[in-house]
Amino acid sequence: MRKLLLVLLMFVTACVQAESTVLITGSNRGIGLGLVKEYAAHGWRVIATCRSPESAQELQMLAQANNRIIIEALDVTDPAAITALAEKYKKQPIDVLINNAGLLPVDEWNKPLKEMDFDYARKVFDVNTFGPVRIMQAFMDHVAASGEKKIINISSQAGSFANSSHEPKRYVYRGSKAALNMFTFDIAHELGQLGITTIALHPGVVHSQTDESFEEAKQRFPGLITVAESAAKIYQTVAGLTPADNGKFFSYEPGVQMPW
Ligand SMILES: NC(=O)c1ccc[n+]([C@@H]2O[C@H](COP(=O)([O-])OP(=O)(O)OC[C@H]3O[C@@H](n4cnc5c(N)ncnc54)[C@H](OP(=O)(O)O)[C@@H]3O)[C@@H](O)[C@H]2O)c1
């Protein structure tokens, strides 16, 4: 009898998972690609969006091997493309929406105020801050119509005021993530009334830039983690969210809240 119940429970769990859908932005490489693999491994339907599907080779290979991964072209700074995609999926509930796409302006880091490039700064804010806001606006109804109703804005500890480090001078990146944190905190209040749980999430210090080996990079960043570890822990953290977590800032480590 117990065996039968267990099998039944596994079947029900599989059915529930089979119906769950996640939409991820910036999913052709780095943490976004790691999240595609993680959610697909758990049986989710994945709408994997990226700027240039034609050059997203690893993502294309994953989608060829798994028909539950659907690739869609999406630049998070293109309002018309966002509206068109939201319209295409208007009957598709989206359980988890992950705003992952981001610009890490490494070339700009360490530049003093007098050298700030405002054209570039605007571009970074357009992707890192307004991108997630546009996507939330376009897909909030899809999320509200789902079972899980979760929106995850991938932020960074770099956007936390409580992170008192002043080195290096990442003004633009830190500003864009701090602004995203405030949008998340405030918009969560409105979306909470639709039953949606919206959070900001720090994914860890992640080895996503592959021009240097993990071991080499870890010497400079002792807390460095792999994309796979980040994605696996983000999955667990998101799975454990409840409506009581709405409007909060979390680490990728399950159960660890970040100070704003
Ligand atoms: N890596 C870390 O240690 C770390 C730490 C804290 C927070 N984060 C955050 O985590 C997220 C992912 O970072 P990552 O390390 O995986 O970075 P990454 O490897 O540089 O990947 C960034 C992704 O964002 C996409 N993207 C950039 N501009 C876009 C746009 N306008 N529209 C759509 N997609 C766009 C990129 O697409 P293309 O290939 O087309 O450029 C790429 O898929 C970012 O939000 C980042 O700020 C990362």
Rounded to whole angstroms, the Cα distance separating 246 from 184 reads 9
Supply 156's token pair. 């960074």
CA of 127, closest atom in ligand 1: 31
Query: 150-170 burial by CB neighbour count: b if 16+ within 10 A, else e?
Result: bbbbbbbbbbbeebeeeeebb
Confidence of residue 7 (pLDDT cuts 50, 70, 90): low
Rounded to whole angstroms, the Cα distance separating 146 from 144 reads 6
pLDDT at 2 over 80: no
Superfamily covering domain 93-260: NAD(P)-binding Rossmann-like Domain (3.40.50.720)
* CB-defined site of ligand 1, < 6 Å: 25-26, 28-32, 50-52, 75-77, 100-104, 127, 154, 156, 202-203, 205-206, 208
Q: What percent of the chain has a predicted confidence (pLDDT) above 90? A: 82
Pocket test for ligand 1, best of 23, 35, 103 (most atoms within 8 A of CB): 103
Q: What percent of the chain has a predicted confidence (pLDDT) above 70? A: 93
Ligand 1 midpoint to CA 182 (Å): 20
Rounded to whole angstroms, the Cα distance separating 82 from 135 reads 7
Mean pLDDT of 1-28: 68
CA of 76, closest atom in ligand 1: 32
Give residue-wise pLDDT tens across range 139-175.
999 999 999 999 999 999 999 999 878 767 899 999 9
Ligand 1 midpoint to CA 147 (Å): 27
Give residue-wise pLDDT tens across range 26-52.
999 999 999 999 999 999 999 999 999
Residue 68 CB partners (closer than 8 Å, separation 6+): 40, 43, 44, 45, 46
Residue 149 CB coordination number (10 Å):
24
Tell me the three state secondary structure of residue 46: strand
Supply 172's token pair. 């633009």
Rounded to two decimals, the pTM is 0.94
Tell me the three state secondary structure of residue 75: coil
Mean pLDDT of 204-227: 90
Find the radius of gyration of the CA atoms of the chain: 18
Tell me the three state secondary structure of residue 29: coil
Mean pLDDT of 196-220: 92
Q: Which helix (H) or strand (E) holds 70?
A: strand 69-73
Give residue-wise pLDDT tens across range 179-206.
999 999 999 999 999 999 999 999 999 9
Ligand 1 midpoint to CA 154 (Å): 9
Q: Are 206 and 250 in contact (CB under 8 A)?
A: no
Average pLDDT, the chain: 92
